[in-house]
């Protein structure tokens, strides 16, 4: 069938992901290949000291994104979408969306970016003997309780952004297990919220006499392949106000962007992992068993099918690097030369590989914002050198490339060196890997592991959630999700691999020790409001 016939037969599959700066829709065929897409740009707002997106921005963004997808379908195939084989919704994980019994939001959506939950996260980590990050939903609700916020007693529903949108489109208050594991820890055996931790939380807040128990206000946790409801008539109008889209379309469980990144990079099996490196960065390594102890640097979440994942989440990655590239762009314009950003990136990145493996002593800190893993509550981008260091353009650029994944290395060193976690394949995706071979080589050196990059990784999380929707309806052999990705979607394609060299590994190790010692400079800059 042609793409037009697939669309008109209602056999296309739709994935929509809400990222931090863009909402993206990807339409795929029965062979999991993208055939159309749409997008909507949006930005969070800093309101009353908290990062948020308004309810209007969420729905206007969704409708505009879908309308742009429909326009692409019309332009390419001269047809329209009336029905679909399946739909999947994904969004940035964590955060806090609390609703009353009338499904009215009680306070503005508090996103993953907020760091006002330090006291709550620390107390819960101690109570659970489990690392509870600042951005998790359980940290947000407990911080609201500690703050004495009036709305808490009225909570009937607590969910994430993906869970909220799915709920409104289908009427089903559910969540994919991967996204659920960013609300409160999930038991990898039962694939739902850890019962002991839920009980401990209820006991902790019992003195407040709230009219709810935690399990009653959380969405039901579902694994990949389970039915998560159908598009309702109300939901169809909310997604497509033009009225062309028909209700009755099945949905897969809504997931977080970490889970869809794992799907898009075929990193769901135990012993595989992926690194996403763009504005922020995170690594996801699927581990065989629970770690020997909790670590503040490691967040334990799950794959969309419920396997345990060790996540290293870094707030900063390429933003400072991009700012320096912008400076070179200004210089080129000043000199009257034509500007091609791809060429600037390509030349500077590749030149960095000719520098010293330890960057000649140069150090860079890319902290646009705070970085919890290294103990920074605020950020100050810094470039540091001594008079005797080898100050060359290659070393300068190499130090910024190293800095973009420096914090990532700190977290992964715990996994590989202390916990002796074994990996067979790590896949990189995101802007850092756009210049062929460079980001791969740097990351391989940092974590001393071969790194693969696949062409399809560029399709991103919207494609990943479309794959999960496809798994719901196009899996006649009833394969588990990891095998479905391996055998059906990727069919053995593992991408292009770069292995670390001994020289690069040794150089990065020297650099990271200098980096750790120099953190005192960064801390002093923050402390003194420099």
| 242 within some domain | no
Q: In what order do the strands lie in the sheet with 425-429?
A: 299-302, 308-314, 281-286, 272-277, 425-429, 451-453, 496-498
Residue 148 counted as domain residue = yes
Banded pLDDT at 526 (limits 50, 70, 90): very high
Three-state DSSP class for 274?
Answer: strand
Q: What is the pLDDT of residue 21?
A: 86
Non-local CB neighbours of 258 within 8 Å, separated by 6+ positions: 93, 178, 182, 282, 284, 301, 309, 311
What string of DSSP letters covers 181-228? TTTS-EETTTTEE-HHHHHHHHHHHGGG--S--HHHHSPEEE-TTS--
Residue-level pLDDT at 182:
95
Report the distance separating Cα 9 and Cα 200, nearest Å: 51
Q: How confident is the model at residue 454 (pLDDT cuts 50, 70, 90)?
A: confident
Parent domain of 128: 94-159+184-217
pLDDT digits (tens, 9 = 90+) for 291-331: 999 999 999 999 999 999 999 999 899 999 999 999 999 99
Mind listing the pLDDT tens digit for each residue in 164-197? 999 999 999 999 999 999 999 999 999 999 999 9
CA dihedral sign of residues 59, 60, 64, 65 = negative
pLDDT (mean) for 416-439: 91
| 102 domain-assigned | yes
**22-28, strands of its sheet edge to edge:** 34-41, 22-28, 13-18, 86-91, 255-256
Residue 59: burial class (beta carbons within 10 Å; 0-12, 13-18, 19+): middle
Q: Does any domain span residue 506? A: no
Could you give the percent of the chain with pLDDT greater than 70?
99
Of 170, 304, 162, the C-alpha closest to 249 is 170
Q: What percent of the chain has pLDDT over 90?
A: 90
- Asked, for residue 124, whether it belongs to a domain, the answer is yes
Q: What is the CATH number of the domain that holds 133?
A: 3.30.420.40
CB neighbours of 22 closer than 8 A, spacing ≥ 6? Answer: 39, 40, 41, 42
State the helix-helix crossing angle for 137-146 and 118-128, rounded to 10 degrees.
Answer: 110
Q: Is the pLDDT of residue 116 over 70?
A: yes
- DSSP secondary-structure letter at 371? B
For residue range 195-231, what is the model confidence (pLDDT) as tens digits?
999 999 999 999 999 999 999 999 999 999 999 999 9
Bridge partners of 451, per DSSP, are 426, 498
CA 338, CA 344: separation in Å to the nearest integer?
11
Q: Which two tokens stand for residue 142?
A: 């407990």
Within a domain: 83 = no
Number of structural domains (the chain) is 1
Residue 457 has pLDDT above 60, yes or no: no
pLDDT (0 to 100) of residue 20? 86
Rounded CA separation 414/78 (Å): 54
Q: Are strands 220-222 and 174-176 parallel, antiparallel or unpaired?
A: parallel
Q: What angle do CA 349, 393, 520 make, to 5 degrees?
A: 95
449 - beta bridge partners?
Answer: none
**CB atoms closer than 10 angstroms to residue 63:** 18
The pTM is what?
A: 0.90
In a domain, 497, yes or no: no
The 10s digit of each residue's pLDDT in 25-37 is: 999 999 999 999 9
In a domain, 107, yes or no: yes
Distance of alpha carbon 374 from the chain centroid: 20
Q: What is the SS3 string spanning 286-309?
A: ECCCCCCCCCCCCEEEECCCCCEE
d(CA 184, CA 267): 23
């Amino acid at each position: 069938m042609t793409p037009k016939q697939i669309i008109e037969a209602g056999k296309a599959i739709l994935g929509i992901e809400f990222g931090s700066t863009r909402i993206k829709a990807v339409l795929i065929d029965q062979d999991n290949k993208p055939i159309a897409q749409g997008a909507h740009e949006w930005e969070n707002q800093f309101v009353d000291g908290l990062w948020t997106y308004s309810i209007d921005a969420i729905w206007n963004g969704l409708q505009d994104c879908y309308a742009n997808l429909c326009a692409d379908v019309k332009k390419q195939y001269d047809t329209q979408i009336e029905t679909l084989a399946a739909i999947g919704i994904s969004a940035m994980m964590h955060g806090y969306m609390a609703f009353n019994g009338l499904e009215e939001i009680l306070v503005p959506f508090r996103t993953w970016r907020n760091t006002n939950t330090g006291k709550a996260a620390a107390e819960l980590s101690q109570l659970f003997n489990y690392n509870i990050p600042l951005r998790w939903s359980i940290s947000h609700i407990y911080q609201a309780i500690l703050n004495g916020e009036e709305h808490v007693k009225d909570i009937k529903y607590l969910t994430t952004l993906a869970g909220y949108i799915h709920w409104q489109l289908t009427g089903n208050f559910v969540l994919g297990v991967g996204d659920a594991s960013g609300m409160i820890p999930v038991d990898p055996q039962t694939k739902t919220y850890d019962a002991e931790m839920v009980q401990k939380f209820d006991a902790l807040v019992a003195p407040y006499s709230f009219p709810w128990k935690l399990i009653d206000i959380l969405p039901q946790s579902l694994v990949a392949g389970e039915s998560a409801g159908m598009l309702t008539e109300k939901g169809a109008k909310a997604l497509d106000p033009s009225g062309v889209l028909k209700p009755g379309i099945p949905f897969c469980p809504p997931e977080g962007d970490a889970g869809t990144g794992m799907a898009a990079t075929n990193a769901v099996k135990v012993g595989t992992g992926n690194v996403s490196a763009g504005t922020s960065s995170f690594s996801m390594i699927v581990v065989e068993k629970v770690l020997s102890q909790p670590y503040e640097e490691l967040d334990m979440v799950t794959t969309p099918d419920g396997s345990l994942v060790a996540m290293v989440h870094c707030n900063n990655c390429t933003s400072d690097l991009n700012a320096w590239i912008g400076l070179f762009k200004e210089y080129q314009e000043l000199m009257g030369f034509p500007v091609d950003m791809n060429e600037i990136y390509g030349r500077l990145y590749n030149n960095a590989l000719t520098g010293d493996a330890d960057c000649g002593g140069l150090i860079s800190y890319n902290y646009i914002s705070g970085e919890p893993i290294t103990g920074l509550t605020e950020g100050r981008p810094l470039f540091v050198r001594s008079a005797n260091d080898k100050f060359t353009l290659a070393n300068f650029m190499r130090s910024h490339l190293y800095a973009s994944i420096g914090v990532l290395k700190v977290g992964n060193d715990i996994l590989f060196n202390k916990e002796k976690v074994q990996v067979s394949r790590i896949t990189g995706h995101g802007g850092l890997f756009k210049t062929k071979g460079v980001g791969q080589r740097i990351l391989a050196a940092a974590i001393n592991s071969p790194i693969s990059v696949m062409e399809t990784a560029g399709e991103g999380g919207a494609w990943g959630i479309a794959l999960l929707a496809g798994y719901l309806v196009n899996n006649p052999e009833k394969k588990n999700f990891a095998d479905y990705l391996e055998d059906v979607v990727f069919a053995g394609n593992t991408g292009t691999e770069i292995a670390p060299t001994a020289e690069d590994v040794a150089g990065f190790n020297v650099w990271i020790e200098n980096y750790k010692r120099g953190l005192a400079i960064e801390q002093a800059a923050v402390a003194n409001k420099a």
